[in-house]
């Protein structure tokens, strides 16, 4: 590991803290896979990290390092899962990262994201705002 790698802050999975479904999903992943990456509601992260990405954060989880997006949506969740100390969960993450599976995971993620207000544990705050055209 180089000194540059050691000086970088670890990424944080930023999710919508106002969404009950999102909170429940992250808590479930934490409980079963114990990822080592931190996850936090984006509303509680420093504004300089989240302000440039608020529109995306309203629609998807983002893996952020400082104010840079490392990954979003299904790709961010895959990286979060890949930080598990469990070989089984890292293997699942590696399978999801395969090209065909990644395409499928992204499509499923988009569908769930658009409909998260209909999912168990959701509230009106879970609804994804319409895109600005």
Q: For 17-68, what is each residue's pLDDT tens digit?
A: 988 888 999 999 999 999 999 999 999 999 999 999 999 998 999 999 988 9
Domain residue spans in the chain? 10-121
pLDDT of res. 1: 46
Give residues with Cβ within 8 angstroms of 57, minimum separation 6.
14, 16, 42, 50
Residue 78 confidence (pLDDT) above 60: yes
Structural contact between residues 33 and 82, judged by C-beta atoms closer than 8 angstroms: no
CA-based nearest residue to 71, from 60, 59, 86, 84 = 60
DSSP state of 9: P
Q: Give the number of other CB atoms < 10 A from CB of residue 107.
A: 11
Q: Is the pLDDT of residue 129 over 80?
A: no
Q: Would the pLDDT of 81 be above 90? A: yes
- When pLDDT is averaged across residues 85-109 and rounded to a whole number, the result is 98
Beta bridge partners of 13: 39, 63
With bands split at pLDDT 50, 70 and 90, how would you rate the model's confidence at 115?
confident
């Amino acid at each position: 590991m180089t000194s540059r790698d050691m000086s970088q802050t670890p990424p944080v999975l930023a999710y919508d803290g106002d969404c009950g479904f999102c909170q429940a999903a992250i808590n479930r992943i934490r409980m079963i896979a114990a990822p080592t990456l931190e996850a936090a509601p984006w509303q509680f992260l420093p504004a300089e990290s989240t302000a440039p990405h608020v529109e995306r954060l309203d629609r998807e989880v983002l893996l952020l390092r400082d104010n840079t997006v490392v990954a979003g949506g299904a790709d961010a969740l895959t990286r979060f899962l890949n930080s598990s100390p469990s070989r089984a969960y890292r293997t699942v993450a590696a399978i999801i990262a395969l090209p065909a599976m990644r395409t499928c995971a992204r499509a499923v993620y988009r569908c769930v994201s658009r409909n998260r207000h209909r999912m168990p544990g959701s509230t009106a705050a879970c609804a994804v705002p319409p895109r600005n055209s």
